[in-house]
Each structure stands twice: as C-alpha cells, then as structure tokens.
Structure 1
C-alpha cells in the first residue's frame, strides 16, 4: 500500500505534557550528536511498518554489525499490529528508551512504510535533547527526522535503512558524513556514483537538471515530499525560512507531485526558501494525458528566484547519500553541487 492511501488515516492525537513538545515558533539551537566510531552500539528500531519476516530484523542487525558497530534490537522491533510495527506506544518506547540509554550511541531505523508521524506526540523531547544521538532513516522516517529537529534542534540524518543494506556508494557517503576523521573543508554530498563513459554510453540514470541556476546557502531541511506535506500546519513541520529544502518521493504521479508542491506554494513555504534540491522521484509513471515531472517542477519553482537542482542521490534508490538535517549547506545549481559547510557531528 502506498503512503498516499495510508495518509488518509488520521494522525494520532496527543497533548503537550511530560514529553516536552510544543508549537515553538523557532527551532532550538543546533545539537550535534557524536561522530560514530567502530565499536559503538547502535540501537535498531521499527517506527513505521513491520518487517514482513522476522529474518528482516536479523538482517538489519547484521548490516549494522557489518559496518563495524555493535547492534542492539529494540524491545518491540519484532511486533506487528496490522500495517504498524506494534502499537504507537511500543514503537515510541523503543526510541525513548534508546535515547535514554547511555550504552546506546546511535539509532538506526529498520524500514519505512507508514506510522512514524503517529509517534511524534509520544516522544520524550526533553530527554532526547539531553542525550543527542544519531538518528538515521528515510522515507516515512522523514516525520521523525523533522519532528526531532524542529522540537530539539538535534541534527538528524536522512539516509539508508538497515533492512535494505547499503551499496559501496552509500557506505562511503555514510562514512564521510557520520564517521569523519575531522572536518577541515566543505564536504560535497549526493554527487553521482563513479561512471566510466564510453562512446555511445553515458550515465542516463543519474543526470542532473538545472531547474533554475544560481548559488545559495542555508540550513538543510527536507525528506520525503508526501510525509513532509502531512506535517504542514503542525508543531513538527520544518522551519523553512532561509533554508535549503531537499525532496524526494516514490510512486507519486506528476499530478500528485503538482498537488503537494502547490500546497507548499499556497502556504507560502516555497517563497521563504533559499534553494531547493530535488532528489529522485522513482516509480512515478504518469497515466493518461500528463505533464512530465520536469514540467511540474519548473512550473512550481522557476519563478521563485532561487537555485533549484534536480537529480541528486537522495531518495528511494540503492545508491543514496546521507543528508544531515539542520546543518549549514551551500547549493550551487549551475555546478550541480550540494556542499556541507560545517560538520554534522561533534
């Protein structure tokens, strides 16, 4: 089932209380988690949909170990509750527990699907802010990445999930962002994998399209377009003023992308940005008479007078980069480059 069907379900309700979340007008000061090192312990959680087979969880734990870390499964990671990996309370409890546990250094998500936004009222934001740690995932995990970033200032990471494994490209991108020896100069992320061109053979899959040229800097926010759109009007929506927004999606036809971007435009969000980076829009075949995806992106973005680039290695693809939310970055659309201007970890 695609997210567009699942998002017709209501988000879980919650009240401001011990968890410490509130409709703050501005994001708190930036909190950077510790850089990852071999031998650290990574907790595995399933905040959204369940693993179809128990072995997928064991595979995810083995992927974590293959990266040089110790792996610890969340207490409820094997649970199933229809299309959710356990109850909202169980899934939130695993996240809260790992943030509170001093023996756990980072938290990786098993898979996406649907359900992460339901946890946002149940997370202990005060405790999370007191114990900043790496949180990694993408797709539906976008809700957690942006919710935590907005409520606590924690740098969160849009990147691979454990159940899918990592390609050589993804490992290299993961390591340079999360395991840097030291940050001494700006760091380019999301560039296309190496490709050896030959006469008559070029890398068609990873070509870049300049929707609008130029250069700009700002804090990185973003993730899955469908999930982010569902956060608009809530205390967990990203703070977009002066930001560089990155977006990706899967299975959404051009008219649906048009509808969501139009909502961002009507809400006055696109007009506040310094730049936009579009990643991959996979499995997005149009039916009947339709604008192309490029038509839609140009229609919604060309008039914004900011740099807009399409095609970076962000999205539902095997080779994907790791993007830190909250850090200062520069987008050079003409050069086809997204560059981190500061370290994402301490």
Structure 2
C-alpha cells in the first residue's frame, strides 16, 4: 500500500467537484480552515459550475480532477461534496502519474467511489469531512483531519454497546458508504475484503434496502474472510407502512454473526456531525470489549 506524503506548511490543497455542485462562496469555511493550518488553497475549475445537480458536465468534472491528480504542486485533493456523480467519471481518470506522485484524496459518501478505486490502485486515502460539511463539523472532528494530513497519530476509543460483538482483529481498513460499495460490486472498482477490517455507513435508506445490500455483499463473499466490521452512522433510516421487522443493527447482526468476528456499531464516522477521519488502506488494530471500542492506526 502506497501512503501519500504527509503535508507541511505552504503545501497546496485543491478543492474540486466530482459529484454535486458547490460554489465559491460556500467554500470560504473550508478555505479558512486550510489556511489556518498554514496551507494554500486552489479552487478547481468545477467549483462554481452548475449542471443541474452536478458541478459541471461529466467531462468537465473528469478534466478538473485529472488536472489536480497530475499537478505536482497539488499535494491533496478535497472533494467538495457528495451526492451522486463520481461513478460517472471514474473510468475517465488515469491514475498512472498519480501513483508515481501520490497525494491525499479526501471525502466521504459518494467519494467512496474514489476510495474504492484507490484501494484497487493500492494508494491510501482519507474518509473525512468535506468542504460542504465543514460549517457543521465540531472542532475535534476537524482536528482529526488535520492530524491525518500532517502525519500525526490518530486513534479512537469510544464506549461499546451491549449489541456489539466482542473480540480483537488487525488488518487493513477499507470501505465507506454501503450503498456505493453495493453499487460497485462486479466492477473494476470493487474492493477486496480478504483479511481486512470493513467500515460501512449509510444515509436515508429504507431498512429493506439495507437488508438487500447486506445480502448482496454476503453472496459476493464480502464477509467470508473479513477480520472485523465497523458500522458508522446509519442516519435517517426509513421503514415502510408495513414494518420490515428489524432495525439496522438487527439486520447487520443477523448477517454478520455467523462469521464469528468482532463488529461494532455507532462508530463516529459517516453522515453526522461527528464524522472523524479514517485512513483507508492503513493497517489498524481493532478491539471491542465490554467497555470500549478501540481503533488504532498502525
């Protein structure tokens, strides 16, 4: 696994749209944050483009992202917001030069398309807040991104719940948004979970959708050789008029329990204000005990 160089003062971070549109006036909180860390900011050409929901046409978004990938003065790329659209450009991107001169790519939600492709390319990336979510992110959450970018140690200890499954595991951390991982199955961007710790989270889904996606991952062998599962926020779940009969914890537990691995729920990452940075592609030690959930990046 290739770890991009950590940032230092005066390095440049590019802001781009790979999915939904984002405007320069909305970027100010993110720009102020990066500049407070001593970094320079470059706005990609897609910041301010308006193509219905998207930040520019597919070709415009692909061209902007490719420019930032190939610009050796840009040391990190921060995707402005999620939504939908990254999958429409992923096959137009060339990571050849990027792998020779890697840089951090940051974001969550729809950015899981990029995280997954980067894992296939064997380059680490950051599951983190985005410029769109900076205004609602607590200071301690922003600090986790700064630490990850500058190469400082990050680890997390949170209280465990009685429905977590206890145990310890070590492996490479992979994953992201469940709906995106589901949508990438069978494609060249699909990740391998063999001997890895899988992180999943989601937003605004029906409970039966969660069940269907989990069963599809199971049938594709996602859980057969995984070492552990971390479930982040499952935000704004919906049910039908006739209830599905299980909540998201019960759905995931019923599928995962046969594999006899540790798994934990309500980890502070995903579609919520407490969205702490995860280094995808990094080796972690994962422990769930009676009192705590521990995640240590090695």
- Kept in 2, the 8 Å contact 1:208–1:312? The answer is no
After superposition, residues 220-299 of structure 1 pair within 5 angstroms as 220-288=173-241, 289-290=243-244, 291-299=246-254
1:195-252 Cα offsets, whole Å, 9 max, x none, are: xxxxxxxxxxx86454321111111110000011111101101111111000000111
> Of the candidates 133, 156, 161, which is equivalent to residue 125 of structure 2?
156
SS in 2 for 1:298: helix
The answer for the alignment partner of 1:338 in structure 2 is 295
TM-score normalised to the size of structure 2? Answer: 0.92
**Pairing 1:312–2:267 present:** yes
Secondary structure, in 3 states, of the residue corresponding to 2:129? coil
In 1, distance between residues paired with 2:24 and 2:104?
25
What is the 5 A alignment of 1:1-346? 30-51=1-22, 53-150=23-120, 152-165=121-134, 166-181=137-152, 187-189=154-156, 191-192=157-158, 208=161, 210-288=163-241, 289-290=243-244, 291-334=246-289, 335-341=292-298
User: Partners of 1:108 and 1:246 in 2: how far apart?
Assistant: 20
TM-aligned CA distance change 1:209 to 1:90, over 3 Å: farther
In structure 2, the CA distance between the partners of 1:227 and 1:73, relative to structure 1 (3 Å rule), is same
- Alpha-carbon RMSD: 1.7
Query: Helix, strand or coil: the match of 2:224?
Result: helix
Q: SS of the counterpart of 1:76? A: coil
Mapped partners of 1:72, 1:41: distance in 2: 7
Runs of 4+ residues deviating >6 angstroms? none
Q: Secondary structure at the match of 1:105?
A: strand
Where does the alignment leave 5 or more consecutive residues of structure 2 unmatched?
none
Equivalent pairs counted in the alignment come to: 292
- Give the secondary structure class of the aligned counterpart of 2:208: helix
CA distance in 1, matches of 2:274, 2:8: 22
CA change 1:208–1:174 in 2 (3 A) is farther
- Identify the structure with the greater strand proportion: 2
